[in-house]
Amino acid sequence: MKMTYREAIRQAMHEALAADPRVFLMGEDVGRYGGTYACSKGFLEEFGPERIRDTPLSELGFVGAGIGAALGGMRPIVEVMTVNFSLLALDQIVNTAAALRHMSGGQFSVPLVLRMATGAGRQLAAQHSHSLENWYAHIPGIKVLAPATIADARGMLGPALADPDPVVIFEHAQLYNMEGALPDDWRCDITTAAQRRAGTDISLITYGGSLPKTLAAAEQLAAEGIAAEVIDLRVLRPLDTDTIAASLRKTHKAVVVDEGWKSGSLAAEVMARIVEDCFFDLDAPVARVCSEEVPIPYAKHMEEAALPQAPKIVAAVMMVLGK
């Protein structure tokens, strides 16, 4: 079945709402407007205002309400319009949702799913375009997911809702219009990375909106006779270091691609784990391709220059391979 990434998310939410009366959706413009990215179009008419709740423009307030509902036995899906706006709710996410199981000695859990758009490439400038996934992947007490394929967009919500602890799902805004076939085996876990392309010469490790660019780079490299293996992290916390290590034991070289900034990035964490766990498997230093250390620009040519792109990935591979 062919569909868009957006429709895959919509189907996943529809299935959850239809199957479990405890599930409800809340956030800015999720009801009457049908969602900022049209992922909940038609839901208000079908499920009603008790289960499709438009909220005020107060992330701190409605994320907190979602936490309270989860503590009360509901299964809320809370949509934050963009990752930049989620910073207004960091206190609720970090100090409350992520910490309550620990702070209560295991007496309470917060089965909350928090969805948000992330990433650049749409000329929305610095307040709507950043990639802050690593900030959340730093926090114990939550799971962090980054579905980069139509199958994962369809398959990750179910297990996220079944998890007793908070799960944050990052949907790269550049992927919503991506179209492709939904495979029969779209159901997936939320614990493991995925191999998206097999190869023997170098491992390209990435996630989210950088996956299509990394696959495009792998195609270009194949034309040069270089077989690049592509690993989609897809679960940013906890990181699946076993899949990374298995790839490195085969290729012995790696480039990490991350739309976050280089300083303090998820790429840095992946590189550190490679050095810790796979140092003697390496035949060359690990390289990374990240966004430039600037707020994301508005101008299209500057925005494109600031972000990881396939040519930059190819150049990094050639450097690692000494070509």
Nearest to 144 by CA among 98, 106, 89, 182: 98
Tokens 């944050």 sit on residue: 168
Q: Which long-range contacts (CB under 8 A, 24 or more apart) does 274-283 make?
A: 274/244, 274/245, 274/248, 277/241, 277/244, 277/245, 278/244, 278/245, 278/248, 278/249, 281/245, 281/248, 281/249, 281/252, 282/248, 282/252, 282/253, 282/254, 283/252, 283/253
What the chain holds in terms of domains, given with CATH numbers, is 2-181 (3.40.50.970), 194-321 (3.40.50.920)
The share of the chain scoring above pLDDT 90, in percent, equals 98
Residues 262-290: tens digit of each pLDDT:
999 999 999 999 999 999 999 999 999 99
Averaged pLDDT, 100-107: 96
Catalytically active residues, by annotation: 59, 128
Q: Residue 35: pLDDT above 90?
A: yes
Averaged pLDDT, 4-30: 98
Tokens 């969602």 sit on residue: 35
Residues 113-146: tens digit of each pLDDT:
999 999 999 999 999 999 999 999 999 999 999 9
According to DSSP, the residues that pair with 167 across neighbouring strands are: 113, 143
Q: What is the pLDDT of residue 209?
A: 97
Residues 175-200: tens digit of each pLDDT:
999 999 999 999 999 999 999 999 99
Decide if 88 contacts 37 (C-beta within 8 A): no
The enclosing H or E element of 170 equals strand 167-172
